[in-house]
Structure 1
Amino acid sequence: MRLAILGAGAIGPACAALAASRGHTAVLWSPSGAGTRGIDATLHAEGLLEGCFPVTVATRLAEAFAGADAALLTVPAYALPDLLPRIAAEIPTTLPLLIAPAASLAPLAFARLRGPGAAVGAMATTPLTGRRLAPDRVRIAAIRAEAEMGALPGPAAPEMAALAESLFGNRWPTVPDALAAAFINGNPIAHAALALANVTRIEKQESWGQYGLMTPAVCRLIETLGAERDALAARFGHHPPSLAEALHRTNGVPRGPLHEMTAAIERGRGFIAGPTEMATRYVTEDVPYGLAFYLAIAQAIGQPMPVTEGTVTVIETMWGQGLRDNPLLAGLDLTALPAALGA
């Protein structure tokens, strides 16, 4: 297939290499143009995928979509409010779009902008994890064995799962709708707890390893935030995997107490640096489009989330800025989500 990949940070190019390794044609587009600068028809991959893989760089959206069989959108959630209208205005109505991850009901926001058209895949997380080492080089740290797939409309999930499996090789168990997929990604919970517990290290730009510092105390906060998310999800009939299960799937460590699993990950993968800038995505993305997203839904249906509320308030206080603005939810009736998501 010909796959248009929209987003050229770390995940987009890594997904391009993975798709190309499976015989597909990858076309990479960067919203600003900066992400594809320095890529000259070849991507070099190392880590869990080794080799040189062909890639086409598109300078315009229309060029990326030309002849495509599918599209993958993978950008930070805070980029979606500005980017979704651009994509909705140019994407062919028959072209299926996969959004990875489908944070904050992004598939619903996109479909409202585009109008009737092909199904939208709501990926619970990205097909892989990786880092950009150079303009034309990526290191792939993990290729997920499986991750959940929802869709808009909800019944299209098996079709979107089959598409993603063909492109990337992972298994994509289906979930009923895009909201179920949005609840599954555990990054907002883990990242917010890590940022809060290590704020002085971040502020002083110290080097610190995130898995090694997921200590028992930090993991207690993670587990409590996870329990509140799970109670909210259950109000909609959804039951996301635990944070421990997510770590097991991605890193292959044995299931056990969370802090023991993270210690095992550090032993196996080595030092994985935590953020060293206050403007880290752990806060600017994962709080507004993760924890505060949960709070918005909880408020709409009267579900208490006291620890989540307190965590967001403390982070807002320490970072000195409001972190609850989420344009993706504008105009949505959060009290009537099941009907909107299943249509």
Structure 2
Amino acid sequence: MRVAIVGFGGIGRGYVAYLTGQGHEPVIWSPSGAALADFSGDALLTVTGKLEADLPLRIARHCAEAVGGAEVVIVAVQANGFRAVLDAIAPHLAAGQIVIISAHCSFAALYLHRLLSARGVDIPIAAWATTALTARKSGPRSVHVSGIRAKLDVATLPAGHAQVGLDVCRSLFGDRFELREDLLAIMLSNLNPPAHVANMLGNLTRAERGEDWPNYGSITQGVGRIVDAMDVERLALAGAFGLSVRSVQDHYVHSFGVAAGPVGEMAAAVYRNRPELLGPKTLETRFITEDVPFGLVPLEALGRIAGVPLPLHKAGIALFDAICARDFRAENDLLPALDLERFTADELHRELRGA
């Protein structure tokens, strides 16, 4: 398949490597233009870790060149870039294509669905609860792929396209996808916000001072108990919408193959297997700048609509507002455009099914 990958950070580069190895034809569009600058001439992408290769790249100069003619478009940018990227790709999408949002948060698929509906375009938008692999840029022309997930949840908007979305995801990345009820189930299955927020709170000064600290090795029993307690709130919110989603323990079992138990013990097992994974060395990290405004804040909004209190989620937002001297609610540029507060819980759930 010809696959347009929008975004050229660690995840986007990792997808290039994986899809090329599977015989697909990825083309990259880097909204920032960094890919064109870094890969001038015949420069190759060097891939290390779970995948190893030196790959030539096909780089699109602009959005229309990438999206036009692509069978699949994968959005692989951080959440604070979603709105600008979705605004850019929407005019170029057409019947017969499919969009994958990796990883979905903050109603991004609903935002794109409304843009397309205004044009009379009805195409599947597949949303993943997390990324298909873990990867980071290891240099201007390289990427290190540290893991490929064995299991991954997917839902498609409109829900009537669910089987198409599932089939395309499996065609690209293999039989690792499990179909979920709808987009709301995917939103409530994202474990990054509570895990990252808890770990940053417990290791705040280490990050701020730029120290080396092990990501999973620093999820102590106390940090793990924060994650567990936030998970109770998330599961209660899912229950209010009649959904059953994976617990944080289920996530660790499916993603890392470790035995179930308290989060602190499960994280220690991950650390023993992958000690090279380090935590952020700055407060200007997606663990805060993405997971607070685009992770915790949308859940807070869902809690208001469903009448479910989320005191720890609210506390996390307030604490990081204070720590970073920012208003993270105001930094979410998707929520104001969606006007969700006018919906009842049932109405919103139908909207997120495309009903």
For residue 46 of structure 2, what is the aligned residue in structure 1? Answer: 44
Task: Name the SS for the 1:130 alignment partner.
Answer: strand
For residues 61 and 315 of structure 1, the distance between their equivalents in structure 2, rounded to whole angstroms, comes to 35
CA positional deviation for 1:54: 4.0
Write the deviation string for residues 191-222 of structure 1: whole angstroms up to 9, x where unpaired: 01111121111222222112111001000000
For residue 333 of structure 2, what is the aligned residue in structure 1? Answer: 327
Check 1:68–1:300 CA distance in 2 against 1; reply closer, same or farther (3 A cut): same
CA positional deviation for 1:134: 2.2
For residues 258 and 304 of structure 2, the distance between their equivalents in structure 1, rounded to whole angstroms, comes to 36
Amino acid in the other structure paired with 1:256: G
Amino acid in the other structure paired with 1:61: C
For residues 141 and 190 of structure 2, the distance between their equivalents in structure 1, rounded to whole angstroms, comes to 28
CA positional deviation for 1:157: 2.0
Q: TM-score, normalised by structure 1?
A: 0.95
For residue 17 of structure 2, what is the aligned residue in structure 1? Answer: 17
Q: Is the Cα contact below 8 Å between 1:211 and 1:263 reproduced in 2?
A: yes
Amino acid in the other structure paired with 1:48: K
For residues 250 and 217 of structure 2, the distance between their equivalents in structure 1, rounded to whole angstroms, comes to 18
The count of residues paired between Structure 1 and Structure 2 equals 343
Task: Name the SS for the 1:108 alignment partner.
Answer: helix
Matches within 5 A, 1:111-190: 111-115=113-117, 116-190=121-195
Moved >4 Å (runs of 4+): none
CA positional deviation for 1:295: 0.4
For residues 249 and 236 of structure 1, the distance between their equivalents in structure 2, rounded to whole angstroms, comes to 24
Mean alpha-carbon deviation: is it higher for 156-165 or for 14-23? 156-165
Check 1:9–1:170 CA distance in 2 against 1; reply closer, same or farther (3 A cut): farther
Amino acid in the other structure paired with 1:52: D
Question: Given the alignment of the two structures, is residue 300 of structure 1 paired with residue 311 of structure 2, yes or no?
Answer: no
Check 1:7–1:170 CA distance in 2 against 1; reply closer, same or farther (3 A cut): farther
CA positional deviation for 1:61: 1.0
CA positional deviation for 1:241: 1.1
For residue 74 of structure 2, what is the aligned residue in structure 1? Answer: 72
CA positional deviation for 1:234: 1.2
Q: Is the Cα contact below 8 Å between 1:161 and 1:174 reproduced in 2?
A: yes
For residues 87 and 188 of structure 2, the distance between their equivalents in structure 1, rounded to whole angstroms, comes to 24
Task: Name the SS for the 2:12 alignment partner.
Answer: helix
Question: Given the alignment of the two structures, is residue 289 of structure 1 paired with residue 291 of structure 2, yes or no?
Answer: no
Matches within 5 A, 1:139-288: 139-288=144-293
Q: Is the Cα contact below 8 Å between 2:155 and 2:162 reproduced in 1?
A: yes
Q: TM-score, normalised by structure 2?
A: 0.92
Amino acid in the other structure paired with 1:327: D
Unaligned runs of 5+ in 2: none
Q: Is the Cα contact below 8 Å between 2:237 and 2:306 reproduced in 1?
A: no
Q: How much is the aligned-residue C-alpha RMSD, in angstroms?
A: 1.6
Amino acid in the other structure paired with 1:95: Q
Task: Name the SS for the 1:104 alignment partner.
Answer: coil
Check 1:288–1:96 CA distance in 2 against 1; reply closer, same or farther (3 A cut): same
CA positional deviation for 1:41: 6.5
For residues 177 and 55 of structure 1, the distance between their equivalents in structure 2, rounded to whole angstroms, comes to 35
Task: Name the SS for the 1:253 alignment partner.
Answer: coil
Mean alpha-carbon deviation: is it higher for 209-218 or for 332-341? 332-341
CA positional deviation for 1:93: 4.1
Task: Name the SS for the 1:262 alignment partner.
Answer: helix
Q: Is the Cα contact below 8 Å between 1:62 and 1:91 reproduced in 2?
A: no
For residue 5 of structure 1, what is the aligned residue in structure 2? Answer: 5
Work out the percentage of aligned pairs sharing the same amino acid: 36
Amino acid in the other structure paired with 1:50: E
Q: Is the Cα contact below 8 Å between 1:94 and 1:117 reproduced in 2?
A: no
Task: Name the SS for the 1:276 alignment partner.
Answer: coil
Q: Is the Cα contact below 8 Å between 1:100 and 1:122 reproduced in 2?
A: yes
Check 1:293–1:176 CA distance in 2 against 1; reply closer, same or farther (3 A cut): same
For residue 96 of structure 1, what is the aligned residue in structure 2? Answer: 98
CA positional deviation for 1:36: 4.6
Check 1:310–1:287 CA distance in 2 against 1; reply closer, same or farther (3 A cut): same
Check 1:35–1:183 CA distance in 2 against 1; reply closer, same or farther (3 A cut): farther
Task: Name the SS for the 1:201 alignment partner.
Answer: helix
